Structure formats: C-alpha cells, structure tokens
C-alpha cells in the first residue's frame, strides 16, 4: 500500500508541476504573441501616442507643402501668361512703351514673390528631411530596444523551466510553515506579473515601431514626390526669369530706338520751324507734290480696276506691315513739319513704326502693286515707297523704304508677303516705316482695319 502510494505521488507532483508551469508561462506567451492582456498600469502608452501625434503632424506639414506647390503653380501660370502676352506685344506693335515697361516691372515683382515662396518651400522640405532623419533614428532605436526586451523575456522563460520551480504542493508536503507557503506563492506571483508586464511592453513596442515605420515610409514617399515637384518649380522659375530678362532687353532696345528716332525727328522739325517762311514754302510745295502724286496713284488704281485686276471692295482686315514701336500715331500732331488738315494745324496721315534698320516690311493685305519707286513729292530728297491697291477704294502706302525691288509694279501680292525693307530715305530722321491707309482717296487711321 505504501509502495503503491509512493509510486503514484511523483505522478501527481509531476502533473501539478506541469499545470503550474502552464499557468505561469501562458501569460508570457500571450504577451509575446501580441496579446492585450496586461497588468493595469504596467505599460506606458506615451511612446505610441507620441508616434501617432508625430504622424498626424507630418501629414499636416505635407498637406501645407502641397498647398504651397499648388499656389506656386497657379502663380507661375499667371506670370507665364503675362510674359507670353508681353512677348507677343514686343514682337508685334508696341504702341506705348511706358505701359509695357510698367507690365514688365509688375511681373518682376510677382516673380520675386514666387521666388520667395519657392525659398520657403525649399526650407520646409529641408526641415522635413531633418524630421525624417529623426524618425529613422527613433525607428532604429525602437528596433534595438524591442530586440533586447524579447531576448530578456525569452531568457526569463528559459530560466523558469531550467530552475524547475518548486510547486506549492511540494512546499506544503515538505512540512514548511504557513509563512513559507505564502512566501513561495508571493514569489511565484511576482515573477509571473513581471513577465506579463514585460510581454505587454513588447506588444506596446511593436505597435509603436509599426506606427514609426508607417510614418517613415509614407512621409518618405510624399517627400520624394514633393522634391520632384519642387525641382519642376525651379525649372519653371528659371524659365520665367530668362523670358522676363529677354523681354526687358528687347523693351530697352525698342525704347532706345524709339527715343532716338523721336529725338532726331523733333530736332529736325524744330530746326525747320525756326525759319517759318522757309517752312511755309516747303509745306506748300509738299502739299502740291502730294496732290500730284495722289492724283497719279488714283489714275493707276482706276486703270487696274478697269482692267479687272482689283476688286471693287476689300473684304477682310489688314495686318501690321512690320513689328516695332509706334513713334507717331495717326491724327493731329505737334510736329510743325506736317501740313494743316481740317482743324489740325499739323496732321500726320499715317503711323510711324520703328524697328532695327533693314527689318522686312510686309503687305498688309492681298492686292496688286500699283507703284514702286521714289516719292518725288518729297522734293530733292525723295523717299522710296511701295503702294498696293487692295480694291478700287482701299490703298496702302509704305514709305522711307530702302531702294530695293522685292516686288515690282503690277505684281500681285499676298497678305504678309515681303514688299520692302525698312530704310531711312526721304525726309526721315531715322530708320522707320511710314504706313498710310487711304480709303476713297482720303487718309484714314490704319488701326481701324487691324
């Protein structure tokens, strides 16, 4: 009987030891596998909260940078449109150089604002790169810390099995006192709680590490996209600066040419006006010569019309024959060289355009060339002119050209075809084109037809 009981006792003891070990190890395994069972107050969630708050802050920062890029894109699009419009104007007819200069100055200020916004964006991107570096360091530190804790927990579990902790039943049967019994229970409970807390901390570390990794990856991807967009912005800004500088250079050149031509013109007119008697005689002679030339052109146009070479009416609009700056508009003028017409003491019957010497002059519209040669209405110093009839009533004149023959009398020309080159012939104070439009034998404002 005693032997039989003795043979059974180890089996019960072994069974109870296994049960107690299972009780002690179960919470450890639950914690190690990511369970949520933790001792109250044993795990600090500040790190996870901080990581999540950091992620939200970075998301807001990236959103602000995207908004700034959108603002930059809109600003650059506006400036690009203004620059294109100014370039078109400079490549075409610049009626008021001061107005164009004011536009260029305004665009320069707007571009300076865009450059400041770009600098802010670059600074924010640099700050974001620093934050990414910090997050990468936090992630590396948290990985190392997690590895240490996992190793510690594994070591504690291994030690628990190796020590073969004495079961409560063995303590009781060994004749230990009640105090010893309580001490053994307390020691085992303390070890279990410590292991469970460590497992809970490992779970928390994993969540924090995951949050840091997600923040790092998302922010890095967004930052790379932002960096590419910032690069595009830089290229666009450089292009805008180059275009604006080119516009300013061309504007300055046009302004200098227009100023020089106008100054020379004013000086010559002033010199002529000094001798009023001589001026009056010259104006009278010029008026008579102009009338004679006009009568001749009218006959030539009538002949071409009677031959069926030109239509009775012109359908369409005219183009500017040459790009450049307008130095004198159509209508009343203060230049005493011009003749009296109606209520104007001095009247300019066309528009003067200034461009670099030798610039091609083109037909304002389709028609037939009725005259190419010297304008003897100018007296001893005639101008080279080309006259085109677009219909029996609409005729355009191009004066002060170089004496060359891109076209000849009787030739049919298309709109935009080269008919001559800007020169300085006749009573000209500098290279320019005098463009006149005649309707029914009366000079009219060319702008009405463009």
Res 9 pLDDT > 60: no
Same domain? 253 vs 330:
no
**Distance between CA atoms of residues 208 and 47, nearest Å:** 7
On whether the CB atoms of residues 356 and 90 are closer than 8 A, the answer is no
- Tell me whether residue 100 is in a domain: yes
Domain encompassing residue 198 = 2-34+42-259
CB 21 within 8 A of CB 160: yes
Task: State pLDDT tens for residues 194-240.
Answer: 777 777 788 887 888 887 888 888 888 888 888 888 888 888 888 88
In a shared domain, residues 207 and 69:
yes
Q: Are strands 324-328 and 93-94 parallel, antiparallel or unpaired?
A: parallel
What are the pLDDT digits (tens) for 136-148? 888 888 888 888 8
User: Among 208, 233, 259, which residue terminates a domain?
Assistant: 259
Same domain, 241 and 288: no
Say if residue 133's pLDDT is above 80: yes
Q: Which residues pair with 399 in a beta bridge?
A: 434
Sorted by sequence, the CB contacts under 8 Å of residue 441 that are 6+ apart come out as 294, 298
For the cut 90, the answer to whether the pLDDT of residue 411 exceeds it is yes
* pLDDT attached to residue 346: 67
331 occurs within a structural domain? yes
Residue 401 included in any domain:
yes
Q: What is the 3-state secondary structure (H, E, C) of 89-143?
A: HHHCEECCHHHHHHHHHHHHHHHHHHHHHHHHHHHHHHHHHHHHHHHHHHHHHHH
At residue 15, the pLDDT reads 41
Domain count, the chain: 2
Looking at the structure, tell me whether residues 346 and 232 fall in a common domain: no
Q: Which of 204, 227, 259 is the last residue of a domain?
A: 259
Q: Minimum mean pLDDT among 176-185, 214-223, 259-268, 438-447: which range?
A: 176-185
Q: What percent of the chain has a predicted confidence (pLDDT) above 90?
A: 16
Domain end point (choices 259, 294, 320): 259
Which residues are registered as beta bridge partners of 432? 423
**pLDDT > 70 in the chain, percent:** 73
| Closest among 198, 202, 212, 200 to 140, alpha carbons compared | 212
- On whether both 200 and 149 belong to a single domain, the answer is yes
> What's residue 51's pLDDT?
81
pLDDT score at 382: 84
Mean pLDDT of the chain: 77
pLDDT value of residue 14? 45
The 3-state DSSP class for residue 303 equals helix
Q: What is the pLDDT of residue 219?
A: 80
pLDDT > 70? residue 274: no
At 302-336, the pLDDT tens digits run: 888 888 888 888 988 999 999 888 888 887 765 65
* Confidence at residue 40, expressed as pLDDT on a 0 to 100 scale: 32
Residues 127/58, Cβ–Cβ less than 8 Å: no
Tell how far CA 229 is from the center of its chain.
11
The answer, yes or no, to whether residue 178 has pLDDT greater than 50, is yes
Element housing 362 (H / E): strand 360-362
Helices (H) and strands (E) in the chain, counts: 6, 13
Position 273 confidence tier, pLDDT thresholds 50, 70, 90: low
Q: Are residues 106 and 24 part of one domain?
A: yes
- Say whether both 196 and 95 belong to one domain: yes
Q: Once rounded to an integer, what is the mean pLDDT over residues 104-133?
A: 88
Paired tokens of 398: 């191009």
Whether residue 431 is predicted with pLDDT greater than 80 in this model: the reply is yes
Q: What is the pLDDT of residue 39?
A: 34
Report how far apart, in Å, the C-alpha atoms of 406 and of each of 99, 384, 395, 418 are. Answer: 35, 13, 19, 7
Report whether 135 contacts 214 (CB < 8 A). no
Which H/E stretch holds residue 213? helix 178-274
Q: What is the pLDDT of residues 331-375, one digit of tens each?
A: 776 565 666 666 766 678 899 998 888 999 999 999 999 999 988
Within a domain: residue 20? Answer: yes
For the stretch 24-39, pLDDT in tens is 444 444 344 343 333 3
pLDDT above 50 (res 123):
yes
């Amino acid at each position: 009987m005693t032997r039989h009981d003795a043979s059974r006792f180890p089996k019960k003891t072994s069974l109870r030891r296994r049960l107690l070990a299972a009780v002690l190890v179960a919470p450890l395994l639950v914690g190690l596998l990511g369970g949520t069972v933790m001792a109250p107050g044993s795990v600090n969630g500040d790190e996870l909260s901080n990581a999540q708050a950091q992620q939200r802050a970075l998301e807001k920062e990236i959103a602000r940078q995207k908004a700034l890029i959108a603002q930059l894109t809109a600003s650059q699009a506006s400036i690009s449109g203004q620059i294109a419009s100014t370039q078109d104007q400079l490549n075409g007819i610049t009626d008021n150089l001061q107005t164009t200069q004011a536009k260029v100055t305004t665009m320069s200020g707007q571009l300076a604002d865009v450059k400041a916004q770009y600098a802010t964006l670059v600074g924010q991107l640099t700050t974001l790169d620093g934050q990414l570096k910090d997050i990468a360091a936090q992630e590396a530190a948290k990985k190392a810390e997690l590895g240490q804790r996992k190793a510690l927990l594994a070591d504690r579990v291994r030690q628990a099995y190796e020590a073969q902790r004495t079961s409560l039943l063995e303590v009781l049967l060994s004749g230990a006192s009640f105090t010893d019994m309580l001490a053994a229970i307390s020691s085992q409970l303390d070890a279990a709680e410590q292991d469970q807390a460590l497992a809970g901390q490992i779970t928390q570390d994993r969540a924090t590490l995951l949050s840091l990794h997600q923040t790092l990856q998302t922010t890095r991807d967004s930052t790379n996209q932002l960096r590419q967009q910032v690069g595009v912005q830089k290229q666009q800004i450089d292009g805008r600066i180059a275009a604006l500088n080119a516009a300013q250079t061309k504007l300055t050149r046009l302004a200098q040419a227009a100023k020089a031509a106008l100054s020379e013109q004013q000086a010559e007119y002033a010199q002529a006006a000094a001798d009023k008697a001589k001026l009056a005689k010259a104006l009278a002679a010029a008026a008579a010569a102009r009338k004679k030339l006009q009568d001749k052109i009218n006959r030539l146009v009538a002949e071409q019309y009677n031959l069926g070479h030109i239509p009775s009416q012109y359908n369409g609009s005219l183009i500017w024959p040459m790009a450049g700056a307008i130095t004198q508009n159509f209508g009343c003028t203060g230049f005493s060289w011009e003749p009296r017409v109606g209520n104007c003491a001095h009247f300019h019957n066309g528009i003067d355009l200034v461009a670099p010497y030798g610039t091609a002059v083109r037909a304002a519209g389709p028609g037939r060339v009725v005259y190419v040669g010297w304008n003897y209405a100018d007296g001893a110093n005639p101008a080279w002119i080309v006259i085109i009839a677009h219909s029996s009533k609409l005729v355009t004149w191009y004066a002060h050209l170089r004496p060359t023959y891109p076209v000849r009398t009787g030739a049919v020309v298309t709109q935009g075809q080269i008919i001559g080159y800007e020169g300085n012939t006749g009573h000209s104070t500098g290279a320019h084109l005098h463009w006149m439009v005649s309707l029914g034998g009366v000079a009219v404002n060319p702008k009405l037809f463009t």
